A and B are shown apart, each in its own frame.
Chain A
Amino acid sequence: GAGVSQTPSNKVTEKGKYVELRCDPISGHTALYWYRQSLGQGPEFLIYFQGTGAADDSGLPNDRFFAVRPEGSVSTLKIQRTERGDSAVYLCASSLGSGPSYEQYFGPGTRLTVT
């Protein structure tokens, strides 16, 4: 079956621009997570959705970052006024439910480069 997909695969943008990164979770998965992976680091949590609502957004670094999941399926991570420090791979994961007994399935990520 189809896995988690993310688009675009790569995105290059100029400092100060606005970007949107999209995540299509596995059908039927109610939980969706966004992580950011900087070069040479492990993924770091950004935000988690259960259904349509953001259950935990404590990992968002500042108010330039925002994410939505309006219909409980596709999610979009939005970054305003991008900075060079935002350059990273943004990973999305989905699971049937929340909690450690549900495996998180990851997408291939979007590599964001801010020039």
Chain B
Amino acid sequence: AQTVTQSQPEMSVQEAETVTLSCTYDTSENNYYLFWYKQPPSRQMILVIRQEAYKQQNATENRFSVNFQKAAKSFSLKISDSQLGDTAMYFCAFMKHSGNTPLVFGKGTRLSVIA
């Protein structure tokens, strides 16, 4: 079974600064995908970024980038130039590459961006 651990229940960052959210996971799979989702107070989960495990290059989406360390089973999210609208819960998630498998989520990190 796969597990996803987010060790930071809460974090805060000043507007325009950079923040990094941590995520580690455990799996015996070799091929898989990793995701970061954002959940604002509206409750609607929004995909922020995803990484395919067989790709060595770290994924980037505008101000969001990841640091994927496969050997260490680590998948951190870096948010640059933080904006007030980034305030939300952030969930790290895992999905196996093959088969009809669901997302496995961590417990989340509550990020507050302070003006």
Contact = CB atoms under 8 A, between A and B. Distances in A.
Interface stretch (A20-28, A41-49, A63-71, A74-82): A41-49
B100 A55 contact: yes
Contact of B96 (A100, A104, A109): A100
Interface in B43-84: 43-47, 50, 52
A33 B102 CA distance: 8
Given A33-B102, A56-B102, A43 B91 contact: yes
B95 interface: yes
Interface string A83-115: 000000101010000111001101111010000
A50 B43 CA distance: 24
Contacts of B42: 108
A43 B105 contact: yes
Contacts of A1: none
Interface in B77-109: 91, 93, 95-108
B108 A50 contact: no
A89 to B, nearest CB: 6
Interface string B32-47: 1100000000111111
A59 B47 contact: no
A43 B103 contact: yes
Contacts of B33: 100
Nearest to A59: B102
Contacts of A108: 42-44
A41 B103 CA distance: 14
A45 B102 contact: yes
B91 A99 contact: no
Nearest to B9: A40
8 contacts: A42-B93, A42-B107, A56-B101, A91-B43, A93-B45, A99-B100, A100-B97, A106-B45
Given A3-B44, A43-B105, A55-B100, 19 more contacts: A40-B107, A41-B108, A42-B108, A43-B45, A43-B103, A59-B102, A91-B43, A91-B45, A93-B45, A98-B100, A99-B98, A100-B32, A100-B33, A100-B50, A100-B52, A106-B45, A106-B46, A108-B43, A111-B43
